[in-house]
Amino acid sequence: MRRLLSRLYDEAAWRRRQWYARRPEARRRLRRPVFSVGALAAGGSGKTPLTAHLARTLLAMGERPSVLSRGFGRARAVAGAVVVRDSERIVGELATAGDEPWMLAQALDGVAVVVASDRYLAGRLAETHLGATVHLLDDGFQHLPLERGTDLLVVAPADLDDPAVLPAGRLRERVATARCADAVLVDDGSDERRDWVAERLGLSRSFTVRRRVGPAVVVSPHAEPEELGLGARVIAVAGIARPERFFGDVRQAGFDVLHTLVYRDHHRYSPRDAARIQVEARTARAEAIVTTDKDGVRLKALFPFAPPLATLPLTLCVEPADEFRAYLADRLVAERTGEA
């Protein structure tokens, strides 16, 4: 049954992409250049940290980037576009922003973050009222109604080991759709693996994604964050698409993981969840509870925690850095001169 559903899903996704390819007039175009960061695989690809890296890179290049997100998992949907950050300060709230936009708004000084189910509407607001000179689509590869000048596709070599689409596999679309991208960002691979992935996907431009984890920071609503000492005995909590990868990061960061707790992606933590997590931590005699930045966004609202709550941030960068910056600069020029 799963294989049958997978074939149906695959065919529907392929036909949808072909429909937009045959009808360019159906795709709306913003006035400023648009970069999309997306993936073939569902969840856990690092799209949001890469969007943050891209925003910082463009900011350093003198641009005024805006991040356009659909705000998946919002507790309260709002008609129209919601400004989460106006580049200078946070003006929204978690309930109407969603996990990833809220996390980006907290991390990106100088970058506007706007949420809307219609990302064209979000982009027009960013252009006309927030001074955006370039837009970033977080998780945008499948958002076909909006035209973009550059599609950056995040792929891990493991994504190609079993190229089945949902629900039989992890892919949102068949591998052949990767040819619609302009460049592939190969997650955590060697140069040889990067070249292998690019050749497999039929893409001529490729870059390598490097992961940087930590340090873990103890968070408190009433005090400045402080670093969690290496070697601490902890339990690890994750409500993300690939929790096992995060648990591995916690161990590699130098912590003694006594126990792990898994929740579904975008889980809305309740006081009951917070109580359970603390009971598990005390039972394991843990010194701290370590979670992701994304989960920390929701868990911080449920203070106090005993033992204390710490987040382990994940930062991604693209290498070779100079070559990537030059590529972005070339794409900006191409879009602004109509050559993209």
Q: What b/e sequence results for 241-279 when a residue is b if at least 16 CB atoms lie within 10 Å of its CB, and e otherwise?
A: bbbebbbebbeebebebbebbebebbbebeeebbeebbe
pLDDT for the residue 8:
92
* pLDDT tens-digit map of 101-125: 999 999 999 999 999 999 999 999 9
Q: What percent of the chain has pLDDT above 90?
A: 76
Same domain, 185 and 330: yes
Same domain, 206 and 226: no
Same domain, 68 and 206: yes
Same domain, 184 and 224: no
What CATH number has the domain bearing residue 42? 3.40.50.300
Same domain, 221 and 204: no
Sign of the four-CA dihedral 146, 100, 155, 265 = negative
Same domain, 207 and 219: no
What average pLDDT does the chain have? Answer: 93
* pLDDT tens-digit map of 150-185: 999 999 998 898 888 899 888 999 999 999 999 999
Same domain, 117 and 180: yes
Give me the helices (H) in 159-222, please: 191-201
Same domain, 133 and 241: no
Report the pLDDT averaged over residues 298-308: 89
For residue 304, say if its preceding peptide bond is cis, omega within 30 degrees of 0. Answer: yes
What CATH number has the domain bearing residue 259? 3.40.120
The pTM of the full predicted model, rounded to 2 decimals, is 0.91
Same domain, 114 and 176: yes
For residue 65, say if its preceding peptide bond is cis, omega within 30 degrees of 0. Answer: no
Same domain, 278 and 170: no
Q: What φ, ψ does residue 50 adopt, rounded to 5°?
A: -70, -35
**Tokens read off for 24:** 């360019």
Report the pLDDT averaged over residues 245-260: 96
Same domain, 283 and 323: no
Give the whole-angstrom CA distance, residue 246 versus residue 290.
Answer: 10
- For residue 309, give the 3-state DSSP assignment: strand
User: Among 106, 290, 107, 322, which Cα is nearest to 214's?
Assistant: 290
Sheet containing 256-262, strands listed edge to edge, beginning at the edge strand earlier in sequence: 226-227, 217-218, 309-311, 288-291, 233-238, 256-262
Contact indicator for 114, 81 with CB cutoff of 8 Å: yes
What domain range includes position 269?
215-312
pLDDT for the residue 320:
95
Tally of domains within the chain: 2
Same domain, 59 and 199: yes
